[in-house]
């Protein structure tokens, strides 16, 4: 029974990683950059929903919507101000800028909310689910997280595969010049990608803060790195890869913590990543190009 | 229709296109021929807006398009089918075509799709297939079909015969001829100068970034210097 409980919380944590990893992988696929400030957008999402519920006394659903709106706007602004001027710059310059944006957001949060941790009250206050005569208890936040994960991943897959803008995003990620020759505005597509990724980061921030209810300005860093790992694990640039990588990473982390060692759980996660990359350098679902001439 | 006047294009410090002027009139097939590195593709990329042109002017339908972003040029009716086809290999045939019709309203794009499938029944058969799995000839048809989806009044084709078996080359040139007869003006860049001149109305001969001669296609086909240099004697 324990195993099933661990598995469920692994899937729950993995869903959060997957939601964050989707932001990394979409931005990488389209703008060919690693947005290391992505984790800090999660943190902003957590704080904004905290302010909305604790200080402004707004209902949970509204606070989530505000967090999504703020982070989406933030993502668009970051892209416009920090990354767009570097579109033609070497990738190292972009990477360093991303790290700079990350520190900027952390320090802005430090100024606004101070370094004192804030305790976050979970937005999901209904009773935990008790199964099998109370032998298996699933926390409300776990249920909400898994369901949200499924909804986010399904919706995003539909957007990417079925809508005009989603297809344009795939076209830009495959060949930017050819996409422009089709009449696709590359800048607009990149902006939309950042908007979607940052909106997802806000959702992840709320879920994360509900599960681990301490807010600090650096709270986004570790989940950010883990989700980045998940994206690489699944094959960076690949959307199903980010989903699979995220969930596997969450499950490995929780099972590792439960059965092997609490202290070593992160080391186990990264070792698995290294092994996967040694065997399959493009990640689990990394793109292989099938080209016929 | 298209008027290019005295353009200069540089790659870094390399002066790739040196003061080139040419024009394309409505209804024509005009070809730019010349050896590898003569600047043919550079010229097309400049007209399409992918490359920055330092000086000179480019006018399409009487409007300057110099400095216009490439995705906006497409909606003016000027499409390009790039060198090496550049189809989206990981997308399906139909998705590739949908991307070609990106600037069109849904209804117009659907009509374009029907037209393209009529012209290339082969693509219709393979519409759900991933484009990367098509043969070279089919990929070229897809690239042309994709460019036609935006219903261009001027279509630029960059090396459409590259890497194709001779029988497919004939087929592609027959398609180009047909497209022109049904009202599309064509600017064609080719290394296969003989084929290009056989379908074209006029031609320009390029050497290291300059136009060295221009005349009607039939004159160029019989020109001694051109025959020696580009048509194998």
Query: Hey, where are the domains in chain B?
Result: 1-73+193-233
**SS3 at position B29:** strand
pLDDT > 70 in chain A, percent: 98
Average pLDDT over residues B117-132: 96
Average pLDDT over residues B200-208: 95
Average pLDDT over residues A86-109: 95
State whether A180 and B103 contact (CB < 8 Å). no
| Of B103, B136, B163, Cβ closest to residue A183 | B103
Q: Whose CA is closest to B102, among A181, A191, A190, A30? A: A181
Average pLDDT over residues B156-175: 94
Interface test with B, best of A166, A172, A178 (most B CBs within 10 A): A178
Q: Whose CA is closest to B143, among B107, B105, B93? A: B93
Residue A269's Cα: distance from chain center in Å? 17
* Residues A231/A241, Cβ–Cβ less than 8 Å: yes
Question: What CATH number matches the domain at B1-73+193-233, 2.40.30.130, 3.40.50.300, 3.30.300.30, 3.40.630.30?
Answer: 3.40.50.300
Lowest-pLDDT range of A145-154, A260-269, B17-26: A260-269
The larger pLDDT score, comparing residue A23 to residue A123, is at A23
Q: What's the first-to-final CA gap in chain B, in angstroms?
A: 34
Lowest-pLDDT range of A67-76, A120-129, B142-151: A120-129
Q: What is the pLDDT of residue B233?
A: 63
State whether B50 and A164 contact (CB < 8 Å). no
Chains A and B: how many Cβ contacts under 8 Å? 83
State whether residue A291 sits within 8 Å of chain B by CB. Answer: yes
| Structure tokens that stand for B138 in this block | 């089919």
Average pLDDT over residues B190-204: 94
| Structure tokens that stand for B83 in this block | 């060198």
Interface test with A, best of B49, B52, B70, B139 (most A CBs within 10 A): B70
Q: B137 to chain A: which residues are within 8 Å by CB?
A: none
Q: A182 to chain B: which residues are within 8 Å by CB?
A: 71, 74, 99-100, 102-103, 146, 150
| Complex-level ipTM | 0.93
Average pLDDT over residues B151-169: 94
Those residues with Cβ within 8 angstroms of residue A109's Cβ, 6 or more apart along the chain or in another chain: A40, A43, A44, A47, A217
Q: What is the pLDDT of residue A291?
A: 42
- Confidence band for B36, pLDDT divided at 50, 70 and 90: confident
Confidence check: pLDDT of B37 > 90:
no
| Structure tokens that stand for B134 in this block | 């098509």
Confidence check: pLDDT of A292 > 50:
no
Count Cα atoms within 13 angstroms, Cβ side, for B162. Answer: 18
State whether B71 and A185 contact (CB < 8 Å). yes
The larger pLDDT score, comparing residue B36 to residue B58, is at B58
Q: What is the pLDDT of residue A288?
A: 59
- Average pLDDT over chain B reads 94
Q: Phi/psi at A162 (nearest 5 deg)?
A: -115, -25
State whether A175 and B80 contact (CB < 8 Å). no
How far apart CA B122 and CA B93 sit, in angstroms, is 10
Interface test with B, best of A87, A176, A182, A287 (most B CBs within 10 A): A182
Confidence check: pLDDT of B207 > 70:
yes
Q: What is the pLDDT of residue B20?
A: 95
Strand pairing of B185-190 and B154-158?
Answer: parallel
Confidence check: pLDDT of B159 > 60:
yes
**SS3 at position A97:** helix
pLDDT > 70 in chain B, percent: 100
pTM to 2 decimal places:
0.90
pLDDT > 90 in chain A, percent: 76
**SS3 at position B126:** coil
Q: What is the pLDDT of residue A2?
A: 85
Q: B134 to chain A: which residues are within 8 Å by CB?
A: 292
Average pLDDT over residues A221-241: 92
Confidence check: pLDDT of A293 > 50:
no
- Confidence band for A290, pLDDT divided at 50, 70 and 90: very low
| Of B91, B132, B136, Cβ closest to residue A290 | B132
């Amino acid at each position: 029974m324990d195993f099933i409980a661990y598995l469920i919380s692994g899937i729950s944590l993995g869903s959060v990683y997957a939601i964050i990893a989707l932001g990394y992988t979409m931005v990488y696929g389209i703008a060919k950059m690693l947005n290391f400030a992505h984790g800090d957008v999660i943190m902003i999402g957590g704080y904004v929903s905290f302010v909305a519920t604790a200080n402004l006394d707004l209902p949970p659903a509204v606070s989530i919507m505000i967090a999504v709106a703020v982070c989406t706007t933030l993502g668009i602004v970051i892209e416009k101000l920090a990354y767009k001027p570097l579109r033609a710059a070497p990738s190292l310059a972009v990477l360093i800028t991303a790290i700079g944006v990350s520190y900027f957001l952390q320090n802005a949060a430090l100024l606004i909310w101070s370094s004192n941790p804030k305790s976050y009250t979970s937005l999901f206050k209904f009773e935990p689910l008790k199964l099998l005569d109370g032998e298996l208890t699933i926390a409300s936040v776990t249920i909400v997280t898994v369901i949200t994960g499924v909804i986010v991943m399904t919706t995003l897959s539909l957007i990417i595969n079925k809508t005009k803008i989603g297809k344009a995003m795939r076209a830009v990620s495959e060949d930017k010049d050819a996409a422009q020759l089709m009449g696709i505005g590359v800048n607009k597509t990149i902006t939309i990608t950042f908007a979607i990724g940052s909106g997802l980061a806000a959702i992840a921030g709320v879920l994360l803060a509900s599960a681990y209810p301490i807010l600090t300005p650096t709270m986004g860093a570790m989940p950010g790195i883990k989700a980045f790992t998940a994206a690489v694990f699944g094959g960076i640039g690949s959307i199903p890869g980010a989903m699979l990588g995220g969930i596997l990473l969450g499950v490995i982390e929780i099972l590792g913590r439960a059965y092997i060692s609490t202290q070593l759980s992160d080391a186990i996660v990264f070792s698995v990543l290294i092994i996967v990359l040694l065997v399959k350098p493009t990640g689990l679902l990394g793109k292989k190009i099938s080209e016929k001439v | 229709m298209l008027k290019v006047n005295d353009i200069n294009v540089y790659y870094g410090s390399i002066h790739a296109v040196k003061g080139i002027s040419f024009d394309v009139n409505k209804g024509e097939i005009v070809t730019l021929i010349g050896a590898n590195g003569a600047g043919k593709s550079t010229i097309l990329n400049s007209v399409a807006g992918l490359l920055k042109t330092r000086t000179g002017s480019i006018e399409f339908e009487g409007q300057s398009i110099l400095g216009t972003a490439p995705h906006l040029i497409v909606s003016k009716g000027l499409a390009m089918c790039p060198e090496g086809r550049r189809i989206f290999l990981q997308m399906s045939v139909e998705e590739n075509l949908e991307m070609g019709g990106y600037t069109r309203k849904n209804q117009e794009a659907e009509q374009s799709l029907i037209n393209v499938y009529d012209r290339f029944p082969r693509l219709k058969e393979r519409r759900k297939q991933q484009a990367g799995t098509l043969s070279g000839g089919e990929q070229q048809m897809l690239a042309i079909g994709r460019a036609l989806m935006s219903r261009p009044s001027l279509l630029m084709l960059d090396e459409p015969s590259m890497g194709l078996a001779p029988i497919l080359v004939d087929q592609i040139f027959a398609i180009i001829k047909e497209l022109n007869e049904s009202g599309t003006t064509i600017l064609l860049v080719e290394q296969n100068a003989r084929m290009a001149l056989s379908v074209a109305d006029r031609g320009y001969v390029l050497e290291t970034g300059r136009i060295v001669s221009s005349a009607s296609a039939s004159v160029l086909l019989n020109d001694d210097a051109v025959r020696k240099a580009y048509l194998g004697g």
